[in-house]
Structures are given as structure tokens and as C-alpha cells.
A and B are shown apart, each in its own frame.
Chain A
Amino acid sequence: MALSERAILKSEVRWAIVVGSVVALILGAILFAAIAMHMNPPSNQEYADPKTLHLSPEFTEANLGTTVQPNGQIVARMIATQFEFVPNCILLPADRDVTLRITSPDVIHGLLITGTNVNTMVVPGYISQVHTRLTKTGDLLMPCHEYCGLGHSQMLATVRVVPPDQFRPDAQGRAACGNRG
């Protein structure tokens, strides 16, 4: 005897339960990471005039790079421009919360830090901000991942992650990669 209508319905209900459970499990894992581990897509809404970036108090050249704020917060500021990151090396401590703030004076760029979840677009007119905590020490590559022009493939920077005891900012709270900074 072929499957009865009742048996087919039973099979469909079972499948709906299985699929619902799979979706609930995946959503649960995402929610757990978001709530318990604070892992969210970077989201920030701040504006910076791309025409006067070099005159702005935050993104003037002397203020770029890694700074330890008076409240202890570690902030690395960068400009992504055709076709380089300024500065092209930033020094960060491992196992400390750090904030990256990047903007662009020209076209849309993007960046990621290899081996980490840091990944954001850099849009002229906006400040991209990413909070993260790097665990691996060493030189990590940070390429531009949004086609920005003919020199796009040459546009990459280094994130030098050092153990916390080797992260020694100067009296002004600034830390750089030394002669590569």
C-alpha cells in the first residue's frame, strides 16, 4: 500500500521540526556569540569631511597610528587612501581590547586583518570603527579588499601584534612600529 495522506503529513511535520531545529540551533549560536561574546558586525555612524581630513583634529597626520588614551583605551587611527594605508604599519598589543578607526579621503576602500574577524569597508565621509581583541602575536597583513583603482593590489599594511609586556607607548601614549611605522 502506498503512503497514506496521513503518513505523508506526518513525514512533512517531522521534516518541519528538523528544519526548524536546525534554524533555531544556528540562530542560537549567532545570538550566543552576539550577546555573550560581543561579536557583532562592526557598526558605526560617524561622519568626517573627506575634503578636510588632513585638517581635522582626529585624522591629522600627527595623530595617526596607535595611541593609548588617558582612560586607557587603545585606539589605532588610519587613513586608507589610493593606494596605501597611513601609517602602513600599526603596533597593537595582544589580548587587550583595541579600537580601530579608519576613514578615506578619496574612494571606497576595505580592509581585513588576516587570521582575525576584523573586516570592514572604509567609505569616504564616514569613520569606520572596529573593536577587537587580537590574540595572535606577529605581523599580520592588512590588505585593501575593495577594488580602489589601478594600484589596489599594492595597497596593504601590516598590523604588528606584540605581547602586552612589549607594548610600551611613549610619554604621549603613542606607539609605533619603529622604523617601519
Chain B
Amino acid sequence: MVEPSYPADAHDFASDAEELERIDSAATEAPKGAVVVSAIAVAALLVGWLLLYFWIFIPRGTVG
């Protein structure tokens, strides 16, 4: 088994409380941003579909 070797000046993130807090904060905040981006994308698609349906498809008259 080969032991991993780290450079002597490597930062130990796992023991850095401030770094852990930043990672925690990112893991909490990032999903909120993803939800907002997804909501905007879904809303834009839905509005686009409704506009095409009610402004173009329906006024073009009945067919069957």
C-alpha cells in the first residue's frame, strides 16, 4: 500500500473550521439558486406555450 504524499505546505481544509463553514454555506445556498433558475426556465416555457396556444392556435379556428 502506498501512502499518499502531500506537499508540506498543503492546506488542511478538513480541519479548517472557517473553510468548512464556507463549504456548508455554499451547499445551503447553491440549491436555492438552482431552484430559482429552474423556476424561471419552467415559467418561461409555460408562458411561451400558453401564448402560442391562446394567441395563435385557438384564434386560427376550429378543426376536427
Q: Which residues of A contact B (CB under 8 A)?
A: 1-3, 8, 11, 15, 18-19, 22, 25-26, 29, 33, 37-43, 115-119, 130-135
Contact = CB atoms under 8 A, between A and B. Distances in A.
B35 A117 contact: no
22 contacts: A3-B31, A8-B31, A11-B31, A19-B42, A22-B42, A22-B46, A26-B49, A38-B62, A39-B63, A40-B63, A41-B64, A42-B64, A115-B60, A116-B61, A117-B60, A117-B63, A119-B63, A130-B63, A131-B62, A131-B64, A132-B62, A133-B61
The list of the 6 closest CB pairs from A to B, nearest first, reads A2-B27, A117-B63, A40-B64, A117-B60, A132-B63, A131-B64
A24 B28 CA distance: 31
B58 interface: yes
Interface residues of B, number: 20
A19 B46 CA distance: 10
A41 to B, nearest CB: 8
Contacts, number: 64
A116 B60 contact: yes
A38 B64 contact: yes
Contact of A37 (B35, B38, B46, B62): B62
A1 B23 CA distance: 9
B28 to A, nearest CB: 6
B24 interface: yes
A25 B27 CA distance: 33
Given A33-B58, A117-B57, A2 B24 contact: yes
Interface string B33-64: 00100110010001001100110011011111
B46 to A, nearest CB: 5
Given A22-B46, A26-B49, A116 B63 contact: yes
A1 B38 CA distance: 23
Contacts of A3: 27-28, 31
